[in-house]
Amino acid sequence: MTSLFAQEIRLSKRHEEIVSQRLMLLQQMENKLGDQHTEKASQLQTVETAFKRNLSLLKDIEAAEKSLQTRIHPLPRPEVVSLETRYWASVEEYIPKWEQFLLGRAPYPFAVENQNEAENTIQNEAQG
């Protein structure tokens, strides 16, 4: 009987050791999980800070690029803008004539105009 009693005391102590060790391991797991959450939050904060910094740097670079482009290619003078506008208006005016010529439906556009101008000049000289 004493041997059973001694065995039960030994088993009870072993059980207490196992339960104590289990509690200690559970506490370590909770601490590790808490540390992981803290580390993850820290990494997330670092990523957000880096993203904001990179976005700011990108905006600064774009502003510098725009500034340099303005220095390299200043806005054209009003006379140049006017000349360019008139040029494109002239191009648009002649597109239908050239289109018909290129499609083979009409003669060379300037030959007709030059021929008409030449005939008018000849007629004016003959009258004068």
Residue 52 vs residues 38, 44, 62, 92: alpha-carbon distances, Å = 21, 12, 15, 48
pLDDT at 117: 60
Q: Say if residue 123's pLDDT is above 80.
A: no
User: Mean pLDDT for the chain?
Assistant: 86
pTM metric for this prediction? 0.42
Q: Is the pLDDT of residue 37 over 90?
A: yes
Kindly report the length of the chain.
Answer: 128
* Higher per-residue confidence, 128 vs 124: 124
Residue range 91-101: mean pLDDT, rounded: 87
Q: How confident is the model at residue 50 (pLDDT cuts 50, 70, 90)?
A: very high
Q: Coil, strand, or helix at residue 79?
A: helix
* pLDDT at position 59 over 70: yes
